[in-house]
């Protein structure tokens, strides 16, 4: 029986000190915990920390885009060498996988990526993933590694996505870890302090955004810390951090890819009648579209928004932005086929 997939994401603050230097005892613990987990699961490790590790080599570092790219290019080899060193204690080789957004937005590219990861697992190799910052187009970058880890988890149909943070879990207004969260609603969001680590890009808002997407597609999400001897096994057992319960999802693999991996180049706003039709698995007609934003061609993916400007799904459109706008009030013109629409 094929092993299930676990995706583990390490934030910068969870593995580095206040100066961005990687804490070797933490990497040693991570390697030990993943080595144990690898006996039962296929593991993907998404690790931040490259920029923090490399910025000390940039004179008068100010955090500009070009400096971040340079720091990442310096820091990635430092990071991977440490993982190689400590995983070698368990006779586990590691592979560096630097990904870009198009690896997920282009389905043939994504399927090739998936086959490569399966080759890693078949040979007992743990892939260590990060964004290819040096060449990534700023407009098509991942928002942060929370997004990258989520796209991998969804694309590989992972059982669980474990996101490690320095705070140890999701905290309520009394700074207590909430062990189980069934729904990410207004109450949950009200506990979030809209701040981020000085070392990393993301924050708890980012984590909740991608956790909501993952659980809606059937993946359990755990936000936890790295305390204890075996933090990842403890997290899966419910003894470390906060578990966000997975919802049932009947989407096919291609639909999950469409919902998560596609680059959205624009958005279309639809009226209440169109929302109701989409919920009944009908195609989207131009008469139900009230607004078009962005420049996109036929065959590209856009966000679907309701009248309250909330994103309710994505669609692979049959009409480019300009002719779609020109056909807003014309009946019986299809904007997107039902098979190419995924609602969240």
Tens-place pLDDT, residues 309-330: 887 888 888 999 999 988 887 8
Q: What is the pLDDT of residues 124-154, one digit of tens each?
A: 999 999 887 666 554 445 557 888 898 899 8
Q: What is the distance between the alpha carbons of residues 26 and 312, in angstroms, rounded to a whole number? A: 40
DSSP state of 22: B
Mean pLDDT of 247-259: 78
What's the burial of 334, exposed, middle or buried (CB within 10 Å: 0-12/13-18/19+)? middle
Six token digits for residue 51: 């920029």
Residue 196 is predicted with a pLDDT of 46
pTM above 0.75, yes or no: yes
For residue 237, is pLDDT > 70? yes
Instruction: List CB contacts of 291: < 8 A, sequence separation 6 or more.
Output: 268, 269
For residue 197, is pLDDT > 50? no
Please state which of the ranges 24-33, 118-127, 321-330 shows the lowest mean pLDDT.
321-330
Residue 134 is predicted with a pLDDT of 65
DSSP string covering 228-243: SSSHHHHHHTTSSSEE
Q: Of 3, 92, 37, give the one whose Cα is nearest residue 236.
A: 37
- Pairing relationship of beta strands 126-131 and 94-99 according to DSSP bridges: parallel
How confident is the prediction for the chain on average, in pLDDT? 86
Phi, psi of 25 (to 5 degrees): -60, -30
Inter-residue contact 298 to 318 (CB < 8 Å): yes
Helix/strand/coil percentages in the chain, nearest 5 = 40, 25, 35
Residue 261 is predicted with a pLDDT of 59
Phi, psi of 225 (to 5 degrees): -110, -170
Mean pLDDT of 193-207: 58
Mean pLDDT of 63-91: 92
For residue 106, is pLDDT > 80? no
Residue 51 is predicted with a pLDDT of 85
Phi, psi of 138 (to 5 degrees): -60, -30
């Amino acid at each position: 029986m094929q092993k299930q997939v676990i995706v583990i994401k390490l934030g910068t603050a969870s593995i580095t000190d206040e100066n961005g230097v990687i804490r070797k005892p933490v990497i040693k613990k991570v390697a030990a915990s993943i080595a144990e987990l690898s006996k039962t699961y296929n593991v993907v490790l998404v690790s931040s920390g490259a920029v923090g590790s490399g910025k000390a080599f940039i004179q008068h570092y100010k955090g500009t885009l070009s400096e971040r790219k340079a720091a990442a290019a310096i820091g990635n080899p430092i990071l991977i060498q440490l993982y190689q060193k400590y995983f070698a204690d368990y006779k586990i080789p590691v592979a560096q996988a630097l990904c870009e957004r198009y690896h997920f937005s282009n389905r043939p590219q994504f399927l090739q990526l998936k086959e490569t990861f399966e080759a890693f697992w078949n040979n007992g190799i743990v892939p260590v993933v990060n964004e290819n910052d040096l060449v990534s187009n700023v407009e098509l970058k991942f928002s942060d590694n929370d997004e990258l880890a989520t796209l991998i988890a969804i694309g590989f149909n992972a059982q669980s996505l474990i996101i490690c943070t320095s705070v140890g879990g999701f905290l309520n207004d009394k700074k207590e870890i909430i062990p189980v969260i069934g729904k990410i609603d207004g109450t949950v969001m009200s506990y979030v302090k809209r701040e981020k680590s000085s070392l990393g890009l993301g924050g708890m808002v980012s984590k909740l955004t991608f956790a909501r997407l993952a659980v809606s597609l059937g993946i359990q999400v755990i936000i936890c810390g790295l305390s204890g001897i075996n933090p990842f096994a403890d997290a899966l057992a419910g003894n470390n951090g906060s578990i966000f319960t997975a919802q049932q999802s009947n989407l096919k693999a291609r639909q999950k890819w469409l919902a998560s991996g596609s680059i959205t180049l624009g958005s279309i706003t639809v009226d209440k009648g169109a929302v109701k039709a989409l919920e009944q698995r009908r195609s989207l007609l131009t008469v139900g579209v009230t607004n078009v934003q962005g420049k996109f061609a036929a065959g590209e993916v856009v966000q679907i928004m309701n009248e309250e400007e909330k994103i309710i799904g994505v669609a692979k459109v049959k009409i480019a932005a300009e002719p779609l706008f020109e056909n807003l009030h014309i009946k019986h013109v299809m904007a997107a086929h039902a098979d190419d629409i995924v609602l969240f």
